[in-house]
Amino acid sequence: MSEDGHCRSPEWHPKGADKKVYAGEVVKVVDSSGGSFAPKRFKRPRRKGYDSQEILAGLQAGDRTLLARGITCVESEERTHREIAKSLLALSLPHSGKSIRVGITGVPGAGKSQFIECLGKQLCEEGYRVAVLAVDPSSTVTGGSILGDKTRMEDLSRDLRAFIRPSPSSCTLGGVAAKTRESIVLCEAAGYDVVLVETVGVGQSEVAVRSMVDFFLLVQIAGAGDDLQGIKKGVVEMADAIVVNKADGDNVNRARLATVEYSRVLHYLHPFTEGWTPRALSCSALEGTGVGDVWDTVVEFCDKLKSEDRFDSIRAEQSVKWLRSLLEARLLEAFYSDDKNATKLASLEKDVSNKSIAVVEALDQLME
């Protein structure tokens, strides 16, 4: 419904059809800056195809539709889109790197979206621009998604300062993670100060997200079974902070106890980020209490690394590792896609299993 109380017909509204049936609902946007933030006037050309320069100009002017279009090109497997994405990324790279990148994980139901909505709104009110991206491994397996299907973060998505993008739903986890990395670059070029990357704490996706963010936060809840709640110990080891959510109502004490317990566990673990002892905190994303303390911890962490000149070098290391992992993936793909290799491998596998050749010898033959 538009502000004047009317429904608008979409462009594809069939001629002569009942207007009410084809009406599109227009939701009101919120400008948390009280009007001081407004996207610059950007005249978007009225056609379907955009080149990378136009997309860059648009996203830098605060046009969220063109930012979304840029990300669509990044996510697309289509050749023309890939070309645009490549050139757009090259143009965006010099404008990127200025945001704080935070990874957020936790099992479904822990309250990640509620937390992100609450934190996102607080940050927008403080004047930050916030982008939310998702890495959802379920979308790569089933085509459905744990993170993207429900209507999420409705309030935040209406805020002019926020941008929310669900997980790309195709290809492998590696592919989804690659696209999210590239999307971070576009969000930063678009001037977002904070990029929140959300993932489900049930598998490999945490490793991928950990390697693309500065700070990694694990959202937990108190008293839902055993300590680690289906979260692998490895995920706890990657966290720079754990926040026990839903510390409200009858649950306040349990959340407090769980926080003490996590503090104890974290104290004994080797910190993921050298020189930073991970913290356990509690919050209620529903009531908004404690969420600010989590953000203060993120800022303290970044300030510490910056004062020690390590913030950028950690990011540089991440990029180098990323290049290597892409190289390995590319080499493997090249190896397996060659028919000659496949035939040779099949025959050597037989030889290895019936012990007619040593494994090292088979490897040497394959490498030749």
Q: Which residue is nearest to ligand GDP (CB)?
A: 111
Q: Which of 106, 137, 168, 290 binds ligand GDP (CB under 6 A)?
A: 106
Nearer CB in complex with ligand GDP: 43/150: 150
How is residue 300 written in tokens?
């303290």
Pick from 55, 59, 66, 110 the residue near ligand GDP by CB under 6 A: 110
Q: DSSP string of 64-77?
A: HHHHHHHHHHHH--
Ramachandran region of residue 153, left (φ > 0), alpha (ψ -120 to 50) or beta?
left
Where do we find the tokens 């028919």? 339
Contact between 114 and ligand GDP (CB under 6 A)?
yes
Shortest reach from residue 243's CB to ligand GDP, in Å:
10
Q: What is the CA radius of gyration of the chain?
A: 24
Which C-beta is closer to ligand GDP: that of 112 or that of 181? 112
Binding mask 233-272 for ligand GDP (x = CB under 6 A): ------------xx-x------------------------
Three-state DSSP class for residue 242: strand
Please state the closest distance from residue 129 (CB atom) to ligand GDP, in A.
Answer: 22
Instruction: Write out the DSSP string of 152-175.
Output: --HHHHHBTTEEEEPPP-SS-HHH
109 binds ligand GDP (CB under 6 A): yes
Total count of residues recorded for the chain:
368
CA dist 10 and 285 (Å) reads 36
Q: Minimum CB separation from ligand GDP for residue 30, in Å? A: 20
Q: How far apart are CA 173 and CA 271, in angstroms?
A: 26
Per rule CB under 6 A, is residue 167 in the interface with ligand GDP? no
Tell me if 285 contacts ligand GDP by CB under 6 A.
yes
DSSP class of 24: B
Alpha helices in 159-250 (DSSP H): 173-189, 205-210, 233-238
Q: Could you tell me which stretch among 107-115, 207-215, 255-263, 324-332 binds ligand GDP (CB under 6 A)?
A: 107-115
**Selected range binding ligand GDP among 10-18, 53-61, 109-117, 120-128, rule: CB under 6 A:** 109-117
336, amino acid identity = Y
Binding mask 36-75 for ligand GDP (x = CB under 6 A): ----------------------------------------
**Helix-, strand-, coil-residue percentages of the chain, each rounded to 5:** 50, 10, 40
Question: Among 60, 92, 105, 113, which residue interacts with ligand GDP (rule: CB under 6 A)?
Answer: 113
Residue 342 and residue 189: Cα distance in Å, rounded?
A: 43
Strand partners, 50: none
Smallest distance, ligand GDP to C-beta of residue 151, A:
10
Cα distance between residue 143 and residue 244, in whole Å: 30
Among 112, 129, 210, 279, contact with ligand GDP (rule: CB under 6 A): 112
* Residue 289 β-bridge partners: 284
Nearest to 127 by CA among 158, 159, 103: 159
Residue with smaller CB distance to ligand GDP, 48 or 150: 150
Residues 115-144 that bind ligand GDP (CB under 6 A): none
Quick one: which segment of 94-102, 182-190, 280-288, 354-362 binds ligand GDP (CB under 6 A)? 280-288
Q: Which residues bind ligand GDP (CB under 6 A)?
A: 106, 108-114, 245-246, 248, 284-286
